[in-house]
Amino acid sequence: MEGELKEDIENINFFLKNSQNEYSIKLENKELSLIRNSENKLNINLKFNGEKK
C-alpha cells in the first residue's frame, strides 16, 4: 500500500483486533506509538518522536 500525506495531521489512532492480538498505531503530539498486545506472545510497544525538518 502506498500513499501520500497531503495535510499536516496532529493525531491519528488506528486499532485492529483479531482472536489473539491487538494492534494499535497512534500519532499524538508528534509522538508515534506502535503497539502489539498478544495473549500468548511478547507484547511490543515502540515510541518514536521527532521534530519536523
Unique residue bearing C-alpha cell 506502535: 34
Task: Give the model's confidence band at 4: pLDDT under 50 very low, under 70 low, under 90 confident, else very high.
Answer: low
Q: Residue 27 is inside which H or E element, if any?
A: strand 21-28
CA distance 12 to 24: 10
pLDDT for position 1: 43
Mean pLDDT computed over every residue of the chain: 74
- Is pLDDT of 14 > 80? yes
